Structure 1
Amino acid sequence: MLLNISHTTQYHYDEPVQYSLHQLRLTPKSNQNQRVVNWQTTITGGEKQLEFIDQHNNHVDLISFNAGESEISIHSWGEVETTDTHGIVGKHGGYAPLWHFKSTTELTQPGGELKKLIKTLGDRFEGDIERMHALSRLISERVSYKVGETHAATTVEEALKSEYGVCQDHAHIFSAAARMMGYPARYVSGYLLMDDRIDQDATHAWAEAYLPELGWVGFDVSNNICPDERYVRVATGLDYRDAAPISGVRYGSSGETMIVSLQVQQ
């Protein structure tokens, strides 16, 4: 499937920004699931300082905002050809070793709620893939998808206690649970072609677990499926902070308004 993607993020500040430095993880990766046909990013009100590949094999652009700007626009667009591999990404790559993906983070720190979830899951499974599918279903049943109940800094334990969350929370819970069960796991950010619309509300997120017989395998808890040809992988990491589309710092206390426009179409 050939997907056309257009992703624009606009920032408006109450007062001109004097200094800001941001990392962009907006360029998809080419692998056995997808081939980047073309891709480019432009910045209005700022400029690219450098680009590099990070420890998770993510393409990162480091950009600065022009001093005195009050409106900044970041536009990424291009075409990606995708293939349905039933969620299987395959062998491990990148600079970070597999054992690194068993690490916990502030957002995925396990606690009593996660331990109860794993205990509920049990251990009567014929293999790793069946166990991970069961884990995905259990999280979907336990934490209902609902916008507005959580935020970017919500932890696994907080989402489990509230019993509500979005794709970010589902990916965090799955990753944390898989790690507690002994599997390397990681967070994935990217794009999803919705069947009923071109304009999307936001980027998407899911998780991947490393299974000895298959390698990395994706699980989208929010939609209760493994990623297919409608998905485009962009960045991976231990949690949202490693794979966020845009992250950075700025000096000043002026108010910020952000508007995201995202279109994904075949």
Structure 2
Amino acid sequence: MRLSIRHDTVYSYDPPPAQLTLRLRLFAVDCAMQRVEAWSVRVNGAEVAPLLTNSFGDREALWRAPERPERVEVSVEGAVETEDRAGMLGRWPPHRPAVFLRYSPLTEPDGGIAAFAQQVADASDGLLPMLHNLNEAVADAVEYRPGATDSSVTAAGALERGAGVCQDHAHLFAAACRSLEVPARYVVGYLHDPEAPLGGTHAWAEAWVQGLGWVGFDPTHRQSPTDAYVRLGSGLDAFDAAPIRGHMHGESAESLAADVAVGVAQ
């Protein structure tokens, strides 16, 4: 499938901060599930090139406001050819999977997560069936309910509440895997959903399966990623994998508005 992406984010500041730096991880890269045909990232109309490729295989750029900004607009446009590989990425990038056994503040498992994960493992025959069962179990345990959580809610908090969004599903899946000594990472990207014509940003998880490599799981949709997904980047959790992260010097109130469109390209 050939997908087109347009993603605009506008930040407003009051009063303008003395200094502003943005870390941008908005660059899709070629991997087993996708081939990037065209991609551009612009800040206030000027194109921004990636500065480096980090240890997770994701490209990053830094942008610093030349003066006190009242408004910053970050725009992404691209076209990506995708392939349905049942979520299998293989060994990409070629770093040690054990890096993703680390806990983070948002994914540290408590007793509830450990018991939840162990119950799924005990009822499963083998690692790959267990991961598919865990995908379903997360969806059953945390009802998809926009507004039920915010970005500060942990995997343990989402399980306790029993409601959340894709971020919470991915956090809980990763936390449960790590509690079972299975490396897992949080993934951000885009999803083309025929039932939501404009599509949007999305989050899912990937787990390491010996002999197969990284395999993706999306509890929100009870499936592995298909050719409707465009992978943007990964990390230990949503904060670590955030496509845009800013650092301000000086007191300022920040607000943002985002507009995302993902469609089938002609």
TM-score of the aligned structures, taking structure 2 as reference length: 0.94
Q: Hey, what's the Cα distance between the residues in 2 that align with 1:113 and 1:196?
A: 34
Q: Which amino acid aligns with 1:63?
A: W
Report the Cα offset of residue 125 of structure 1: 2.4
Q: Hey, what's the Cα distance between the residues in 2 that align with 1:45 and 1:106?
A: 36
Query: What does 1:1-266 correspond to in 2, within 5 Å?
Result: 1-44=1-44, 48=48, 51-94=51-94, 96-200=95-199, 202-266=200-264
Deviations 1:152-191 (CA, angstroms, capped at 9, x unpaired): 1211111111111111111111011111112111010000
Contact 2:85 2:226 in 1 (8 A): yes
User: Structure 1: which 5+ runs fail to align?
Assistant: none
Q: Hey, what's the Cα distance between the residues in 2 that align with 1:206 and 1:114?
A: 18
Q: Hey, what's the Cα distance between the residues in 1 that align with 2:211 and 2:125?
A: 13
Q: Hey, what's the Cα distance between the residues in 1 that align with 2:197 and 2:235?
A: 27
Q: CA RMSD in A?
A: 1.7
Contact 2:148 2:163 in 1 (8 A): yes
The runs of at least 4 aligned residues of structure 1 exceeding 3 Å deviation read 45-50
Partner SS, residue 160 of structure 1: helix
Deviations 1:197-222 (CA, angstroms, capped at 9, x unpaired): 3324x510000001013111000000
Partner SS, residue 106 of structure 2: coil
Partner SS, residue 103 of structure 2: coil
Deviations 1:210-245 (CA, angstroms, capped at 9, x unpaired): 101311100000010000000000101111122111
Contact 1:199 1:261 in 2 (8 A): no
User: Structure 2: which 5+ runs fail to align?
Assistant: none
Report the Cα offset of residue 57 of structure 1: 0.8
Partner SS, residue 4 of structure 1: strand
TM-score of the aligned structures, taking structure 1 as reference length: 0.94
Q: Hey, what's the Cα distance between the residues in 2 that align with 1:71 and 1:91?
A: 40
